[in-house]
Amino acid sequence: MSGNPGFRAAKPVGWVIRVVQTYLQLVLFWRNRLHFEQRDLESMHALPPGSGVILASNHADQTDLKVGLVMSRRCRRRFLFMVNREAFDEGFGTAGWWLQRLGAFSVERGGDNETAKRFAIDVVKRGQEVVVVFPEGEIFYLNDHVQPLKSGAVEIGMQAVSESRATRPEWTVFLIPMALKYRYRSRIGRILERRIRGLERRLRLLKFGLTARQRLAQIFATALLRRESAHNLKPETARLDDLNERVRSLREEILSQVEERYPGSSATPTTTTTTTTTTATTPAQTNDRAWRLSARLRALLNGMGQFGETLQAQILDDLEALKHVVQMGGWEPMPAGPEPSQERLAEMVLKLEREVFGTRRPRQLARRDVLIRVGSPIDLGRCLASYREDAHGVRHRVADELRGRIQALLDRETIGGDPVPMRSGEK
């Protein structure tokens, strides 16, 4: 693993995993009670022994990784998790130690990931563990909507099939879609009121006869205006029905400003304040640009011992701005129509608290049920011939199919039939 010194390989330790799984199972039973469908668990067990398995899930909440660890115990399979590289540095590196022992390996979003891909391919080829990925790439706090997926999971699986077929002609990899959906166990109106009031106090907003949706829209617009002002961008309109376009313009403007300060891969920041708008891109392409530039800046920062504090502070500020660019990809103003569900209101509160208070991981509002649904696996071996002819096209076609299957699972009102609760102490 010497190809990328920043890479952190998974180093699972059985007793550490078992202790943490037991602890999480008790904690989740109280705060986030898990519900599986028995047939989904049986479908996981029914996969051909020794085949490669990649489990791909939406990334709706910070609890997702904990859910995966407990699900690993229920499936009686070891899960290895692909986790963003920054998470390993939290707690002065202590988080990384625990993540590695729990079976997590790092991926540098937008950076050099050949070592991480090689590690994942080798794990899949072994056919013993399940590689778990969250191909949205970020926690967007969108409980009902799947963002565009990165195609890396498909690439890992296809490469594993391609390399293994030389000696194992029938061997294959299964790409399994999984949906996680969070629902509050009781009415949370009072909690919503308290959290919304906290946001209004911070922004010095007044409320008179407004619904929760209208108040959140007002907070949304104010937070957006503050972010626009911080980047010297004056919106052409303050109408609430133009918020989506303003978010898109703001993300593009921040990216343009930062990109202009770093015109070359090894360049130091320039002092220009002029900004330009590049060709319009999709939200997914905007995220990709932000992740690539963030990876460049972190690499630049790591080699800046000889530069002054002012330059380093500029890079840190730009990294923070790029983080906001990605997070704003999940800013979706609530549409007109019937009053949204309490889950929809709650996820908006969490996103706004992250923006207004600068909270890395906002606290969930109340106790929830976590509905877990596993979809039909995609046999990547059947795509091998097409992949050898058009790797890029197949990667994106399968990624789109995967996104569609996860979205279909989320769209089910109850995500399947009668859920089977995960009880504390269950093995």
pLDDT at 67: 96
My answer on whether 26 and 77 are in the same domain is yes
My answer on whether 198 and 347 are in the same domain is yes
Instruction: Determine, yes or no, domain membership for 113.
Output: yes
Residue with tokens 């399979």: 77
User: Number of structural domains, the chain?
Assistant: 2
DSSP string covering 131-157, please? Answer: EEE-TT-S----SS-PPPPPSHHHHHH
Residues in Cβ contact with 351 at an 8 Å cutoff, skipping those fewer than 6 apart: 140, 141, 327, 330, 331
Show the tokens assigned to 19. Answer: 């202790």
pLDDT at 421: 45
My answer on whether 146 and 226 are in the same domain is no
My answer on whether 310 and 230 are in the same domain is yes
Helix-, strand-, coil-residue percentages of the chain, each rounded to 5:
55, 10, 35
CATH for 130: 3.40.1130.10
My answer on whether 291 and 338 are in the same domain is yes
My answer on whether 154 and 87 are in the same domain is yes
Show the tokens assigned to 425. Answer: 């102490």
Pairing of β 378-379 and β 173-184: antiparallel
| Helix count and strand count (H, E) for the chain | 14, 9
> Once rounded to an integer, what is the mean pLDDT over residues 61-87?
94
My answer on whether 95 and 117 are in the same domain is yes
Domain of residue 342: give its range.
189-356
Instruction: Determine, yes or no, domain membership for 4.
Output: no
pLDDT at 409: 95
Query: Is 80 exceeded by the pLDDT of residue 322?
Result: yes
In this predicted model, which residue has the larger pLDDT, 230 or 182? 182
What does the pLDDT look like over 75-116, one tens digit per residue?
A: 889 999 999 999 999 998 899 999 999 999 999 998 889 999
Instruction: Determine, yes or no, domain membership for 427.
Output: no
> Once rounded to an integer, what is the mean pLDDT over residues 375-384?
96
Q: Which of 356, 378, 411 marks a domain boundary?
A: 356
In this predicted model, which residue has the larger pLDDT, 82 or 414? 82
Instruction: Determine, yes or no, domain membership for 361.
Output: no
- Amino acid found at 415: I
Percentage of the chain surpassing pLDDT 70? Answer: 88
What does the pLDDT look like over 134-145, one tens digit per residue?
A: 999 999 999 899
Helix or strand or coil: residue 121? Answer: helix
Residue with tokens 């990109």: 259
Q: Which helix (H) or strand (E) holds 368?
A: strand 368-374
What does the pLDDT look like over 3-51, one tens digit per residue?
A: 566 899 999 999 999 999 999 999 999 999 999 888 888 888 889 999 9
Query: Is 50 exceeded by the pLDDT of residue 174?
Result: yes
My answer on whether 166 and 86 are in the same domain is yes
My answer on whether 213 and 338 are in the same domain is yes
My answer on whether 375 and 288 are in the same domain is no
